Chains A and B, each alone.
Chain A
């Protein structure tokens, strides 16, 4: 059985949230240079959703599993880290560390996106 159906799902999911976080970082950077306002809402919703203890949505479970692997390698607690990002976003307190943390998650999604894309095209 091919794993294209599975990877097509992973690709489209990770791709959508990669766009969300990448665009958010672009807005933040631009605001720093120009003072133009931007919205936290969608990104905050994303982190709040992933920090929930009892996730039932398979797509959110999948994304959290990817983040979980990343945090485990760094001996960090996923729930704590994601809640912490959500807290900073909620308080509009975007310090350097929070932005770096979001940037690291962009890299996680970039990796998963590229990997699933390669597998959709038949590369193992």
Chain B
């Protein structure tokens, strides 16, 4: 399976999982992916990017159906920083969850069943 297909499939799983089940889906799905593709060198990178893209896509959807810009402006005033930072933080948080969960699962899998 090519990297792109694996990436898109994982992104879709994370997107739908977040939509239906909530944020917990990200570490769970990323961990499953990390364990499943433990022998792929790009597993952690794939999970990181897919997590960021899944939440980025959901944010983009929010922005198409609602005034996310106003929300950013409110956050900007509340946190006294550029409002966009909270969007960056959101995507970074998903990436962090995806990266750490997949790396941990991949590492355990490789420890248990080394090549």
Q: Are A and B genuine complex partners?
A: no
